[in-house]
Amino acid sequence: MSISPSSSASGPRPVWIVVLIAILPVVAVSLLGNAVTIPQVTTWYPTIAKPRFNPPNWVFGPVWTTLFALMAYGVFRILRLPAGTPGRTKALAVYHLQLALNLAWSCVFFGLNSPLGGILVILPFLGLILWMIALFAPLDRLAAHLQWPYVAWVSFATLLNVSIWWLNR
Asked if residue 69 is part of any domain, the answer here is yes
As a whole number, mean pLDDT of residues 65-92 equals 97
Distance CA 130, CA 21 (A): 22
Asked if residue 9 is part of any domain, the answer here is no
Asked if residue 126 is part of any domain, the answer here is yes
Asked if residue 56 is part of any domain, the answer here is no
Q: What is the pLDDT of residue 4?
A: 46
Confidence of residue 3 (pLDDT cuts 50, 70, 90): very low
Report the domain count for the chain.
1
Estimate the crossing angle of helix 88-106 against helix 115-136, to 10 degrees. Answer: 160
Asked if residue 55 is part of any domain, the answer here is no
pTM listed for this prediction: 0.90
CA contacts within 13 A on the Cβ side of 89: 4
For 127, the domain range is 15-50+61-168
In sequence order, the 6+-apart residues with CB closer than 8 A to the CB of 101 are 121, 124, 125, 128
Estimate the crossing angle of helix 15-41 against helix 57-79, to 10 degrees. Answer: 160
CATH number at residue 92: 1.20.1260.100
Asked if residue 121 is part of any domain, the answer here is yes
